[in-house]
Amino acid sequence: MSEKEKSTELCKEGEKTEGDSGLGLGVLFFLIAFVVVFLSGWLLFPKLLYSKKEQPFNFNHVLHTNETGSCDTCHFLREDGSYNGIPDLASCMECHEEEPMGDTEDELIFCEEYIAKEKEVPWFIYSKQPDCVFFSHAAHLKGKNSMECKTCHGDIGESEESKPYEENRITGYGRDIWGKSIWGIKKHSWDRMKMDDCAECHKEETGSQGACFQCHK
Partner 1 sequence: MKQEQKHGKTYKFGMAIDLDKCTGCGSCMVACMSENNVPFKVDESNKKDSISWMKVFKLTNGKSFPDTEICYLPRPCMHCSGKDSHNPSPCVSVCPATATDTDPTTGIVSQIYTRCFGCRYCMAACPYHARYFNWWDPKWPEGMEKYLSPDVSPRMRGVVEKCSFCFHRYQEAKDKAYVEDRDEINEEEYQTSCTQACPAGAITFGDLNNPSHAIHQLVKPDPHHYGKPRNPKAFRLLERLETNPKVYYISEKEWVRKSGDNYLEGEWEKVKNHHG
Partner 2 sequence: MKVDRRSFLGLGLGAVAGAAVSPAGMKLTDDSSIMTQNWFGLLPVPIDGEITFDNSVCSLCKGSCGITVKKVAGRAIKIEGQDDHPINKGGICLHGIAGLQYLYDPSRIKSPLQKIGDRFEKISWDDAVSHIAEKLTAIKDQQKPESIACISGNDEGSVSELFKRFLKVFGSNNFYSMASMDTTWETTASKMHGKSNTLSFDIENSSFILSFGSGFIEGWGSPVHCFKTNAARKKKNVNLYQIEPRLSNTAAGADKWIPIKPGTEADLALGLCNIIINEEIYDITSISKSNSSFQAFSKMVAKDYTPEKVAETTGIDLALIKQIAHKFAWADKPIAIAGKGRGDTAGDTKEFAAVHALNCLAGNINKKGGTWVSRKNNYLKFPLAKMDSIAKNGFSKPRYTSFETLIDKVAQSSDSDIQALFVLNSNPCYTMRDSDKVIKAFENIPFKVSFSSFMDETAKKADIILPTHMFLERYEDIPSPSAGITKKTVGLSRPLVKPIFDTNNAGDAILMIAKALKGNVAENFPWSNYKKCLESVTKDIWSSLSDKGFVVLTDKPSYLKPSTDFFHVTNNLKSVEAQGDKKSFPLTLISIDNVRIAGGEIASSPFAIKTVSDKVIKGTDILVELNPETAAKARLAHGDKAKITTPVGSALVKVNVFEGIMPGLIGMAQGLGRTLDNKYVADKGVNINKLIAPVIEPGSGQDAAWGIAASISKV
Comparing CB distances to partner 1, the nearer of 183 and 213 is 213
Beta strands in 45-142 (DSSP E): 50-53
**Least distance from partner 2 to the Cβ atom of residue 35, Å:** 7
Report how many residues bind partner 2 under the rule CB under 8 A: 46
From 17-25, 88-96, 161-169, 200-208, span contacting partner 1 (CB under 8 A): 200-208
Options 6, 7, 29, 102; binder of partner 2; rule CB under 8 A: 29
- Contact call for residues 121 and 111 (beta carbons, < 8 A): no
Asked if 108 interacts with partner 2 (CB under 8 A), we say: no
Those residues with Cβ within 8 angstroms of residue 6's Cβ, 6 or more apart along the chain or in another chain: 23
**Cβ atoms within 10 Å, residue 139:** 14
Residue ranges in 57-86 that form contacts with partner 1 under rule CB under 8 A: 77-82
Rounded CA-CA distance 31/112 in Å is 55
Helices then strands, counting H and E runs in the chain, come out as: 11, 2
Residues lying near partner 2 in the complex (CB under 8 A) are found at 8-9, 12-13, 19, 21-42, 45, 49, 78, 80, 82, 84-85, 130-132, 168, 170-173, 178, 182-184
